[in-house]
A = this chain, B = another copy of it.
Amino acid sequence: MGGDHAPEEIIAGAVAAVREHGVRLVLVGRAARIRRELDLHGVLGTIPIVHADEALDMGEGALASWRKPRSSIAIACHLIKQGRASALVSAGSTAGVVATSRLRLKGQQGVVRPAIAVALPTRPRPTILLDAGATADVKPEGLVQFAALGTAYAQILLGVDRPTVGLLNIGTEPGKGNKLTKRAHELLATGSHGIEFAGNVEGHDLLGGRVDVIVADGFTGNIALKTVEGTVATAFTEIRDAMTSTPAARMGALLQRRRLQDLRDRLDPDTYGGGVLLGLNGTVVIAHGASRARAVTAACDLAHRLAAGRIVERIREQVAATRTSRFGRWTHGERDGDRPAEKPADRPGERVPEVPSPAADTVPDRKEPPAAP
């Protein structure tokens, strides 16, 4: 139900994911509305539906996760906790999706803070950037964990055994940076945590394909990601203007149209499937709010691949490797993963509201392994 073009484009994308990629999924949202859309696609009855009374509004932030216990995201998380799904996909408000899934799924054992990973369209293979905005303030040890999360993600997405990891910084030498990155560099450079650390990378290396994984705090990573997107959009607008400014240039543009469209697609965030929230007990793929069907299909396919690659288990192993290193004592602040389920008493006046069980008639009781909703 989330996203600027929900539910039409979301459902169209999901249907395509089923048809073209063989993804098994459950649609969570207002059942009547979803049935109408599925009917239009001629697939009513073939894709299971779980009804959710509510949906997060695009403007809603973190508090929505408390206010709306029956939101489609909350119910999708519940399916994951029940083992009836392995991953969820949403194009809803990033803040709302992150807050709800942190609250419902909890951080996985040993993970201090979750991170959003995105795949930048570098060549010959994508570069993973994390954190793209889940955790704005992070400690140096948190960046080391992000390196572990990114390593696990890159192993599955890129199929490389020991992905190289760079630290996003403002100079290549070890002593460069702010307090956070200077210390994080020291920790990563010890090499005793199973991470293939390749040193600092700078802003102009983001699209250079120099490393497989680039690690940053969520503030810096979000600024960097949106700067790439905005700059690509500006460059294409300028080029389009330049190409159609004279008759000769217009003629030239016609001759190149198809090739340039291919290029634009590759640099378009729609085609690389959205961000993935890593570090929780379940995989959460967050598509752009502006996602159309194609982007939703890519996000469903990504969720499917990550679940098939057992991303949660891989992260557990990678994070365990950083914790057994000599820098592995986490003594600072609260952390998501080490706490048991949050007690209502921890937050006076607030309770984690109960999620109602999905109505039995809307989701089939399946014996197969869980699918991505």
Name A's B-contacting residues (CB within 8 A): 61, 95, 133, 136-137, 168, 170-171, 173, 175, 177-179, 181, 202-208, 216-220, 222-236, 238-239, 242-243, 245-246, 248-249, 251-256, 259-260, 262-263, 266-267
Contacts and interface: CB of A to CB of B under 8 A. Distances in A.
A183 to B, nearest CB: 12
A219 B136 contact: no
Copies of this subunit: 2
Given A61-B173, A204-B230, A235-B236, 7 more contacts: A136-B178, A168-B223, A203-B222, A220-B223, A231-B231, A232-B235, A249-B255
A265 to B, nearest CB: 11
A170 B207 contact: no
A229 B204 contact: yes
A102 B207 CA distance: 34
Contact of A256 (B137, B208, B227, B253): B253
B231 A207 contact: yes
A333 B173 CA distance: 27
Contacts of A202: 223, 226, 230
B220 A219 contact: yes
A228 B223 CA distance: 11
Contacts of A229: 203-204
3 tightest A-B CB contacts, nearest first? A203-B226, A204-B230, A252-B252
Contacts of A267: 235, 238
